[in-house]
Every structure is written in structure tokens, then in C-alpha cells.
Amino acid sequence: MRRKASEQVMVQLIEADVDIGFSLVDEAKAYRADGNTAFSARALHDANEAVADIERRLAQLGDSQAHPFLPLLAELREQIASVTEN
């Protein structure tokens, strides 16, 4: 089944948000390792905002289109939590 242009854009935005989220987690880890907890906390805050954006966009897609992103979203949440806990 061919996606409508608006659905394709939505999927691309979700993919970008996932990439951004993981990059922010990596940034948070690096800042924390350097002892810069303020920047680390900001990067984690932004990563959580990316998660919220992903969730909003997934809600607009049908279940079949959202399903492939659910494992990535779960992994992103786990990585955010692991940095937050340490």
C-alpha cells in the first residue's frame, strides 16, 4: 500500500526525532563524563521532548505504521532512563 505524502512526511519526522533523541542521549553522556551536569540535564530534557514529539506523531499514524517505531521508542526511553539513574 502506498502512503500519502502527508504520511510519508510524518514518518520522516518521526525518524528524524528518533535520531535526534539518541544523539541527545549521547551528548548527555558525554557532558556527564566531563562533569558538566547542567548541560547533561538539558540534553536529557531535550531528549524527553523528542520522545513526546514522537509519541504525538505516532498517535496520528495508524497502528500498522506506528508499530515499527515502538521498539526504537522503547530503547530511547531506556537509554534516557539509564543516564538519568546514573
Q: What is the pLDDT along the chain (86 residues), one digit of tens a residue?
A: 566 888 899 999 999 999 999 999 999 999 999 999 999 999 999 999 999 999 999 999 888 889 999 999 999 999 999 999 87
Instruction: State how far the Cα of 11 lies from the Cα of 31, in Å rounded to an integer.
Output: 30
Structural domain count, the chain: 1
| The pLDDT value given to residue 2 | 60
| The pLDDT value given to residue 62 | 83
* pTM of the complete model: 0.91
Note down the domain range covering 28.
5-85
Under 8 Å between Cβ of 50 and 20: yes
| The pLDDT value given to residue 64 | 86
Instruction: State how far the Cα of 26 lies from the Cα of 78, in Å rounded to an integer.
Output: 13
- CATH number for position 75: 1.20.58
Instruction: State how far the Cα of 20 lies from the Cα of 12, in Å rounded to an integer.
Output: 12
User: What torsion do the CA atoms of 13, 38, 36, 55 make, to the nearest 10 degrees?
Assistant: -20
Coil, helix or strand for 42? helix
